[in-house]
Chain A
Amino acid sequence: MDTILAKDVMASTRRAFLSRLVSVGGIAVASAVFGRGFDLPVGGALDAGAPQLARYPEKKDLILLTDRPPQLETPLEYFRTDLTPNDAFFVRWHLSGIPTTIDLKTFRLEVSGHVAKPLSLSLSDLQAKFEPVSIVALNQCSGNFRGWFDPRLPGGQWGAGAMGNARWKGVRLKDVLDAAAVQPGAVQVGFRGLDEPALKSTPPFQKSLELDHARDGEVMIAYEMNGEPLPMLNGFPVRLVVPGWYATYWVKSLSAITVLDQPLKTFWMDKAYRIPDNPQANEEPEHLSSVTVPINVMAVHSIFVRPAPQQQLRTGQSYQLEGVATDGGSGIRRVELSQDGGKSWNDATLGNDLGKYSWRRWTAEWKPPAKGTYRLMVRATTNSGETQAVSQWNRSGYQRDVIEHVDVVVV
């Protein structure tokens, strides 16, 4: 059964999966669980007990990591739908001077630099002069899950909620660059938003993409999110959408696009948001990688949305396990679950396919066979065959791709 693709199975798999799970004894499972060296994921929000919730404008109650600049995490309960509601979507800003008022009569997106025809575009210009396009894409912070790394790392202590899946509508960056007539010799495109540092000496937040990437026809300047204007805290009126890439590149309240004839020199590319130069962004605390590269395509990863850690389930009573699997643009081919600490694996049922840049929800019915503690594990495989790591660590807590687990108590 393990070799059958999930999309071919569905109901019959679910029955087989159930019977397989039931066939594993509770006591043996419990010993296998404790025999493994995995640590319980503890998000930063959990360090001080229950997470503190806060209500921000255009938002529901979200987990408050920080207030100035704001970092708000989406509670897992909002990951039970294909698209994450705008008012539950996570928030992360770098600099304390974040935009809180936008006058669309005066707002302009400036396109300049190594171009023949610099542009100054209002929101109406963007909407009227360029062909609208739409895509479902996962937006995920580079440091999502930082609070789950061991040893722990300084920085935003995110749990699983620094991501969200949305339908973005806007215009192709390629079309805007073409209208500005990029000149020969251009190599990169730089992006800046309206956020400002408190001190003049702090580098303003800027990112860049290689010219070919910027012109691939997928990178988008988005003015709608799930059919509505972007919430202010998610980058109203327009933000960059870089499908498959971590959210650090999705510059919010985008105000300046600069075509460059040499690579952008900025702290935010040269020092921050860098990962060890290997496929799983892995290194050891005592042997830090000497070569780092800017973080880029999202790693394959999967999580449980339910049950919650230490949740009590009842023996013999069916429970629907749920979660999401994410990657950087290949698409999810398979999600597997284990109830015995990773010794045996069974396919979960994949949810709707909203495109290769979307996350993929998964479900599985589980009937706990006997009392005890169970370590449930989940791992995903992409269409290109990439799968998850058993262990991973890096100095910044970026690009998590570890096979995750949740420990539950069956009574």
Chain B
Amino acid sequence: MYRWKAAVVVAAILVAACLALRAQQSSSAASQGPAKGSMEQTHSIQLPDNAGEILPGPHMDTYSKDCLICHSARYVSMQPGFSKEVWQSEVKKMVNAYGAAIPESDQVLIVEYLVAVRGPQRAGSAATPAK
């Protein structure tokens, strides 16, 4: 009975060790550049999922629906903090320069969201808005 249990434990350790070794090998392969031999082949990468958190705030659904088509939530969460004026001009830029189809009514809500999550009260925010 005990011998049988010991065999299971040994087998489990062996499996775990193999898996760990494989993971190590694949992660070290991932850190190397494309192989020289790949010059005549298809070269592919798979991007990891690092989407991160959508900062909770008022109208976050509108923000998610209109903004996160083109970029992820980190484009906002990495910002320090800006005045309403700065955020208004950023939203206008997305519409006018980048062609985001955001209705006027949604733009107002998105600015409210941005000021709530990354507004001027945040430490390190811009003292003077850049227009």
Contact = CB atoms under 8 A, between A and B. Distances in A.
Interface string B63-80: 000000111101100111
A236 interface: yes
B40 interface: yes
B31 A271 contact: no
A147 B41 CA distance: 40
B57 to A, nearest CB: 16
A87 B32 contact: yes
A66 B69 CA distance: 14
Of A42, A44, A198, A233, most buried by chain B (CB within 10 Å of CB) is: A198
A101 B74 contact: no
A288 B130 CA distance: 8
Using C-beta atoms within 8 Å of the partner chain, give the interface range for chain A: 35 or more
B80 A236 contact: no
B43 A237 contact: yes
A70 B101 CA distance: 23
Contact of B126 (A45, A55, A64, A152): A152
Chain A contact surface mostly: loop
Using C-beta atoms within 8 Å of the partner chain, give the interface range for chain B.
Answer: 35 or more
Interface string B32-45: 11101011111111
Contacts of A197: 70, 98-99
Given A47-B80, A67-B74, A236 B43 contact: yes
Interface stretch (A7-15, A224-232, A403-411): A224-232
Given A58-B31, A59-B31, A152-B125, A288 B131 contact: yes
Interface in B11-41: 27, 30-34, 36, 38-41
B103 interface: no
B80 A101 contact: no
A228 to B, nearest CB: 4
B94 to A, nearest CB: 9
Given A44-B80, A60-B31, A103 B42 contact: yes
A154 interface: yes
Contacts of B82: 152, 154
Contact of A151 (B30, B75, B97, B130): B130
Interface in A205-249: 228-233, 236-237
Given A100-B45, A201-B99, A236-B43, A151 B72 contact: no
Interface of B: 27, 30-34, 36, 38-52, 69-72, 74-75, 78-82, 86, 90, 97-101, 123-131
17 contacts: A45-B78, A55-B31, A58-B31, A67-B52, A69-B71, A70-B47, A96-B70, A105-B40, A150-B127, A152-B81, A152-B126, A154-B86, A197-B98, A199-B101, A228-B33, A232-B45, A285-B130
Q: What 10 A-B pairs have minimum CB-CB distances, sorted nearest first?
A: A201-B99, A57-B45, A67-B50, A68-B72, A285-B128, A151-B126, A66-B74, A101-B44, A395-B130, A228-B33
Given A45-B78, A151-B129, A154-B90, 10 more contacts: A58-B30, A66-B74, A66-B75, A67-B50, A67-B74, A87-B33, A100-B46, A104-B40, A156-B78, A267-B97
Interface of A: 42, 44-45, 47, 54-60, 64-70, 86-87, 95-96, 100-105, 123-124, 147, 150-154, 156-157, 197-203, 228-233, 236-237, 267, 271-272, 285-286, 288, 395
